[in-house]
């Protein structure tokens, strides 16, 4: 009987060992602590940028010729009309140039009259063989040269008269003087800014926007612009111009926002704040550490809060300097794992340690 007892005991021991191995194999994985966040769309209601009101059109007016400025009847803040004189230089040298050009033209015209008379006499004499053909050809050549000299002197006179008109600066359009660059008695160089005139009727907001903008920065993006001292005074606007590159120090990009019928309180130089339009606030952004890139697609680990397990979910996203802007595949309010995404497995249980701000 002893051999049978030993066989039974061995079988029981083997069964017990097999059961222990199965229990050990089915042992659950430990719960993994993770950092997470709730995917919420950006409200877009916070202030994005501060800037000033500037004119869209302004012109730096200066003289086209060198001269000593004798008058500048306008000052900063003055209203000017189209064609109004805003500066003059001493016209003495320009007037003398006109007189000299007139004298040269008169001389050329006298020489032309003499050349024509000589040519006419030679043509009369050639009919009676009283002169040679060479002499007539010389007379014709002299007459053609005199005509060219008259044309040249006429052009010189026209140029001198035009430059005489450069002794005055006239406003190209009605506006307000925003800056002056030269004073009476100063010798102004050609092209030097003497007066800056701006059109106050076409105004826009100039602001600097950083990389934290909740959405793509593009032409036509709507904004709400309000006065910093009177926040209740608001004007709608759209981006008209974007600087091609950010400032090397501040990393901000200068943006010009065209204002839609701004009130008179939006004066040139007034400080304003710009916020995104209401229809542009629903933008969801995730940190780059929460997105897993695989097989040319983007995935995130979504936490099932009822079972505390994670599942891999594909999303559509656009990489931006401030993170990943979600374009589809993720519902608002979903809890997303933001750290340790490369070591998780589908169905793995997790424990939420703390929320991370987007």
Helices (H) and strands (E) in the chain, counts: 3, 23
pLDDT digits (tens, 9 = 90+) for 239-263: 999 999 888 888 889 999 999 989 9
Split into its structural domains, the chain has a count of: 4
Chosen domain end from 246, 280, 314: 280
* Shared-domain flag, residues 240 and 290: no
Q: How far apart are CA 268 and CA 5, in angstroms?
A: 106
* Shared-domain flag, residues 111 and 218: no
Closest CA to 50 of 206, 280, 262: 206
Q: Is residue 83 part of a domain?
A: yes
Q: Is residue 70 part of a domain?
A: yes
Q: Greatest CA separation found in the chain?
A: 171
Q: Is residue 26 part of a domain?
A: no
Residue 5 to residues 11, 12, 17, 141, Cα–Cα distance (Å): 10, 11, 18, 146
* Shared-domain flag, residues 275 and 287: no
- The highest-confidence range among 30-34, 122-126, 193-197, 265-269, by mean pLDDT, is 193-197
* Shared-domain flag, residues 72 and 172: yes
Task: Tell me the CATH number at 264.
Answer: 2.40.30.170
Can you tell me the mean pLDDT for 331-340?
A: 82
Residue 86's domain spans which residues? 61-90+167-198
pLDDT digits (tens, 9 = 90+) for 55-111: 999 999 999 999 999 999 999 989 999 999 999 999 999 999 999 999 999 999 999
* Shared-domain flag, residues 77 and 179: yes
DSSP per-residue letters across 195-213: EEEE-TTSEEEEEEE-TT-
- b/e 220-241 (16+ beta carbons within 10 angstroms → b): ebebbbbbeeeeeeebebebee
Strands 350-355 and 32-38: parallel
Q: Is residue 235 part of a domain?
A: yes
pLDDT digits (tens, 9 = 90+) for 98-155: 999 999 999 999 999 999 999 999 988 988 888 888 998 999 999 999 999 999 999 9
Closest CA to 213 of 28, 47, 78: 47
* Shared-domain flag, residues 294 and 224: no
Task: Tell me the CATH number at 132.
Answer: 1.10.287
pTM to 2 decimals? 0.58
Q: How far apart are CA 175 and CA 119, in angstroms?
A: 60
* Shared-domain flag, residues 229 and 245: yes
């Amino acid at each position: 009987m002893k051999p049978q007892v030993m066989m039974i005991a061995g079988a029981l021991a083997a069964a017990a060992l097999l059961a222990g191995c199965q229990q050990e194999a089915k042992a659950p994985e430990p719960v993994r602590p993770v950092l997470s966040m709730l995917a919420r769309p950006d409200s877009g209601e916070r202030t994005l940028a501060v800037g000033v009101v500037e004119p869209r059109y302004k012109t730096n007016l200066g003289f086209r010729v060198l001269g000593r400025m004798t008058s500048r009847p306008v000052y900063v803040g003055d209203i000017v009309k189209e064609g109004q004189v805003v500066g003059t230089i001493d016209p003495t040298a320009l007037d003398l140039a006109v007189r000299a050009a007139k004298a040269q033209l008169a001389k050329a015209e006298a020489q032309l009259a003499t050349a024509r008379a000589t040519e006419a006499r030679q043509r009369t004499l050639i009919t009676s063989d009283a002169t040679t053909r060479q002499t007539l050809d010389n007379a014709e050549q002299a007459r053609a040269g005199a005509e060219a000299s008259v044309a040249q002197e006429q052009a010189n006179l026209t140029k001198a008269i035009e430059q005489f008109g450069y002794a005055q600066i006239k406003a190209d359009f009605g506006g307000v003087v925003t800056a002056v660059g030269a004073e009476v008695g100063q010798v102004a160089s050609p092209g030097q800014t003497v007066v800056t005139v701006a059109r106050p009727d076409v105004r826009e907001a100039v602001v600097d926007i950083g990389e934290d903008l909740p959405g793509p920065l593009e032409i036509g993006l709507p904004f709400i612009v309000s006065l910093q001292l009177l926040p209740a005074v608001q004007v709608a606007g759209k981006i008209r111009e974007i600087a091609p590159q950010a400032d090397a120090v501040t990393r901000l990009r200068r943006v010009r926002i065209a204002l839609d019928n701004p009130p008179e309180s939006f004066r040139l130089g007034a400080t304003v704040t710009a916020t995104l339009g209401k229809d542009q606030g629903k933008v969801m952004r995730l940190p780059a550490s929460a997105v897993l890139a695989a097989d040319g697609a983007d995935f995130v680990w979504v936490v099932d809060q009822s079972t505390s397990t994670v599942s891999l979910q594909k999303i559509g996203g656009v990489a931006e300097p401030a993170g990943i802007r979600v374009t589809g595949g993720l519902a608002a309010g979903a809890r997303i794992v933001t750290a340790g995404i490369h070591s998780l497995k589908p169905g793995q249980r997790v424990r939420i340690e703390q929320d991370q701000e987007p």
